[in-house]
Chain A
Amino acid sequence: MKEINDLKLPEDVKYSKDHEWARSEGDTVTIGINDYAQDQLGEIVFVELPAVGDAFSVEEEFGSVESVKAVSEMYMPISGEIVAVNENLEDAPELVNEDCYQGGWIIKVKPSDPGELDALMDKAAYLEMLKG
């Protein structure tokens, strides 16, 4: 497993305490799990996705990732309606391991309260949390 200082934590996304990331892209926000989460889980074999049109509130469970070791729930970093899911993950769940911030994105959400993004952590705050 990676040392904290080796984790890839880009500056252009926000982080939640449950190790999801969120990136604002115009009207929508793209969401995935971060490098720390994918590294802890190990080889990911299945991603359970919500349906387009489903609405969730912040911190509500929206799906799960299954690795060879465990299944972990994913929680909404912000409230909103699902406008797209990454269908490539159905056949290639390993994208989450290989490229968690780009090809391994999980959902796109139309936020119900864009202000919620500001409540998430930036890289520095998230690193602080990890180091505890």
Chain B
Amino acid sequence: MRYLPHTQEDIREMLAVAGSPSLDGLFDTIPDSVKTKHGLNLPEPLTEWELNDHMEKLASENIACKGYTCLIGAGSYDHYIPAIIPYLVSRSEFATAYTPYQPEVSQGTLQGIYEFQTMVTDLLGMDIATASHYDCGTALAECALIALRKNRKANKIAVSDLVHPSHRQVIETYLKPTGYEMVLIPHTARGLTDTAALEAMADIAGVAVQSPNFFGHIEDLAAFRKIADSKKILFITSFTEALAWGVLKNPGSFGADLVAGEGQSLGIAKTFGGPGLGLLAGTSKLMRDLPGRLVGRTKDTNGQDGYVLTLSTREQHIRREKASSNICSNNGLNAMTAAMYLSTVGKIGIREIAQLNHDKAVYLRSALTAAGFTPVFDSPFFNEFVMKVPEGFKKKRADLIHRHCLFAGLDLTPFYPELTDHYLFCATEKISRQQMDQLAKEVA
């Protein structure tokens, strides 16, 4: 972004046009009673080097993942970000917070987003993907609303209790003023969504299942497609770990109607849990029901390729209160980042990274088992898994953070009160065998 300060001459000219003798004169209409009488209570100005020192001190108080080993996923994953990505994404041409409504001056950004959409449809095996949403939670809540709009006779949406707890909260928040209801599908002893419980449910417009689910397990999506067909409801699937699709059969091949996902794993830093990247994809049948921006490719009057926002008639700036959503926007810069990540790693690269994630998670699970931890479920997983921890682990875990800058798993009790002493672990490509062996030794 360019920063061009005003010169005294600029200010004089502008004041002359505005017809005010001074800058203060511009604020004459504000009553004296609400104006500050004395200056702001601020510290003395600093030199540039003093300010840099000050900011670095503040920054060092954050426990950020750089310099820490993070064995926690649960919706935000510690993946390697190739050096080319921060370089490219910090180019000023991409630094826009908002949707490019003016195609005549935004061809680069629009093409970038169009390619992002194309890569997302490839990754998920779906017909159409939007130009992104805030995060997986908001994308998933929009999917629930689509299902409720499509099946007007039903009043409820069935959601697996192994959908990320925060995403379930977002759905609840979205539904609260609408009179619709979210009903939870319980999970089985294998840590999978209970299909029999879903089958017994009535008055539902759609079903949402996360895979890999919050415990890391890969759900049998084909089974949910079948139940959705028998009930004539929409089948929605979500995910928090986008890299899983590097090795797993994608949602489209199971016939998902709608897919909501978190794209943070695609080159986006964890930064205190946000901003993320909401992915939303659907079948072409649902094209006009998708909320948010869509970029399309067309020909200009000279017959050359051009990019432009399309199907805008569904959107709030045209359709007002009848829009498919009035509470969504796209995450342009993060969508661009994901497009850069996907094109950097490529089709083969993403498969290799995904395989590394799985292999390391399998290694970590067996190392922890050998160290006295109990594997709880026997279901297939991607890069996350649940362990029952031995006595005294909580203290050792706190110790590991201070002595080794290592986060060993996430306590599941706040989310699933019945799972006391159960922790959710995650291994990504970044963790080494040496680190895993050392962890096993420390906690044994």
A interface, CB within 8 angstroms of B: 46, 48, 54, 66-67, 69-71, 73
- Say yes or no for B318: interface residue by CB 8 A criterion: yes
Closest CB pairs A-B (n = 4): A71-B313, A66-B313, A71-B319, A70-B313
Among residues 5 to 23 in chain B, which have CB atoms less than 8 Å away from a CB atom of chain A?
none
Please report the C-alpha to C-alpha distance between residue A67 and residue B312 in the assembled complex, in whole angstroms.
11
The A contact surface, by secondary structure, is: strand
Please report the C-alpha to C-alpha distance between residue A67 and residue B318 in the assembled complex, in whole angstroms.
12
Please report the C-alpha to C-alpha distance between residue A48 and residue B152 in the assembled complex, in whole angstroms.
14
Please report the C-alpha to C-alpha distance between residue A71 and residue B312 in the assembled complex, in whole angstroms.
10
Interface contact B318-A46, CB-CB below 8 Å: no
In the bound complex, residues from chain A placing their C-beta under 8 Å from that of B152 are: 54
Cross-chain contact of B318 among A48, A54, A70, A73 (Cβ < 8 A): A70
Among residues 283 to 328 in chain B, which have CB atoms less than 8 Å away from a CB atom of chain A?
288, 313-314, 318-319, 322
Query: Could you say which of B152, B313, B318, B322 has the most chain A C-beta atoms within 10 Å of its C-beta?
Result: B313
Taken residue by residue from 50 to 68, chain B's Cβ proximity to chain A (1 for < 8 Å, 0 otherwise) reads as: 0000000000000000000
Please report the C-alpha to C-alpha distance between residue A70 and residue B319 in the assembled complex, in whole angstroms.
8
The chain B residue sitting closest to A68, CB to CB, is: B313
A-B contact pairs, 16 of them (CB 8 A): A46-B288, A48-B288, A54-B152, A66-B288, A66-B313, A67-B313, A69-B313, A70-B313, A70-B318, A70-B319, A71-B313, A71-B314, A71-B318, A71-B319, A71-B322, A73-B322
In the bound complex, residues from chain B placing their C-beta under 8 Å from that of A69 are: 313
Sample of 13 further A-B pairs with CB below 8 A, known A71-B319, A71-B322, A73-B322: A46-B288, A48-B288, A54-B152, A66-B288, A66-B313, A67-B313, A69-B313, A70-B313, A70-B318, A70-B319, A71-B313, A71-B314, A71-B318
Please report the C-alpha to C-alpha distance between residue A88 and residue B319 in the assembled complex, in whole angstroms.
26
In the bound complex, residues from chain A placing their C-beta under 8 Å from that of B322 are: 71, 73
Please report the C-alpha to C-alpha distance between residue A66 and residue B319 in the assembled complex, in whole angstroms.
11
Please report the C-alpha to C-alpha distance between residue A46 and residue B285 in the assembled complex, in whole angstroms.
12
The chain B residue sitting closest to A61, CB to CB, is: B322
Rounded to whole Å, the gap between the CB of A59 and the closest CB of chain B is 16
Please report the C-alpha to C-alpha distance between residue A73 and residue B320 in the assembled complex, in whole angstroms.
13
In the bound complex, residues from chain B placing their C-beta under 8 Å from that of A46 are: 288
Taken residue by residue from 224 to 240, chain B's Cβ proximity to chain A (1 for < 8 Å, 0 otherwise) reads as: 00000000000000000
In the bound complex, residues from chain A placing their C-beta under 8 Å from that of B318 are: 70-71
Rounded to whole Å, the gap between the CB of B154 and the closest CB of chain A is 13
Please report the C-alpha to C-alpha distance between residue A20 and residue B152 in the assembled complex, in whole angstroms.
23
Rounded to whole Å, the gap between the CB of A128 and the closest CB of chain B is 29
Please report the C-alpha to C-alpha distance between residue A67 and residue B288 in the assembled complex, in whole angstroms.
13
The chain A residue sitting closest to B153, CB to CB, is: A54
Rounded to whole Å, the gap between the CB of A93 and the closest CB of chain B is 12
Rounded to whole Å, the gap between the CB of A53 and the closest CB of chain B is 10
In the bound complex, residues from chain A placing their C-beta under 8 Å from that of B319 are: 70-71
Please report the C-alpha to C-alpha distance between residue A45 and residue B279 in the assembled complex, in whole angstroms.
27
In the bound complex, residues from chain B placing their C-beta under 8 Å from that of A54 are: 152
The chain A residue sitting closest to B314, CB to CB, is: A71
Rounded to whole Å, the gap between the CB of B233 and the closest CB of chain A is 14
Please report the C-alpha to C-alpha distance between residue A70 and residue B318 in the assembled complex, in whole angstroms.
7
In the bound complex, residues from chain A placing their C-beta under 8 Å from that of B313 are: 66-67, 69-71
Taken residue by residue from 310 to 348, chain B's Cβ proximity to chain A (1 for < 8 Å, 0 otherwise) reads as: 000110001100100000000000000000000000000
Rounded to whole Å, the gap between the CB of A33 and the closest CB of chain B is 16
Rounded to whole Å, the gap between the CB of B205 and the closest CB of chain A is 13
In the bound complex, residues from chain A placing their C-beta under 8 Å from that of B288 are: 46, 48, 66
The chain A residue sitting closest to B151, CB to CB, is: A51
Please report the C-alpha to C-alpha distance between residue A67 and residue B314 in the assembled complex, in whole angstroms.
11
Rounded to whole Å, the gap between the CB of A8 and the closest CB of chain B is 26
Rounded to whole Å, the gap between the CB of A104 and the closest CB of chain B is 19
Rounded to whole Å, the gap between the CB of B406 and the closest CB of chain A is 54
Please report the C-alpha to C-alpha distance between residue A126 and residue B242 in the assembled complex, in whole angstroms.
57
In the bound complex, residues from chain B placing their C-beta under 8 Å from that of A67 are: 313
Please report the C-alpha to C-alpha distance between residue A73 and residue B322 in the assembled complex, in whole angstroms.
9
Rounded to whole Å, the gap between the CB of A72 and the closest CB of chain B is 10
In the bound complex, residues from chain B placing their C-beta under 8 Å from that of A66 are: 288, 313
The chain B residue sitting closest to A48, CB to CB, is: B288
The chain B residue sitting closest to A69, CB to CB, is: B313
Rounded to whole Å, the gap between the CB of B111 and the closest CB of chain A is 23
Please report the C-alpha to C-alpha distance between residue A71 and residue B322 in the assembled complex, in whole angstroms.
9
Please report the C-alpha to C-alpha distance between residue A46 and residue B313 in the assembled complex, in whole angstroms.
11
Please report the C-alpha to C-alpha distance between residue A46 and residue B310 in the assembled complex, in whole angstroms.
14
The chain B residue sitting closest to A46, CB to CB, is: B288
In the bound complex, residues from chain A placing their C-beta under 8 Å from that of B314 are: 71
Rounded to whole Å, the gap between the CB of A20 and the closest CB of chain B is 18
The chain B residue sitting closest to A53, CB to CB, is: B153
Among residues 148 to 167 in chain B, which have CB atoms less than 8 Å away from a CB atom of chain A?
152
The chain B residue sitting closest to A50, CB to CB, is: B152
Rounded to whole Å, the gap between the CB of B127 and the closest CB of chain A is 16
Rounded to whole Å, the gap between the CB of B68 and the closest CB of chain A is 50
Rounded to whole Å, the gap between the CB of A63 and the closest CB of chain B is 12
Rounded to whole Å, the gap between the CB of A74 and the closest CB of chain B is 12
Rounded to whole Å, the gap between the CB of A6 and the closest CB of chain B is 27
Taken residue by residue from 377 to 412, chain B's Cβ proximity to chain A (1 for < 8 Å, 0 otherwise) reads as: 000000000000000000000000000000000000
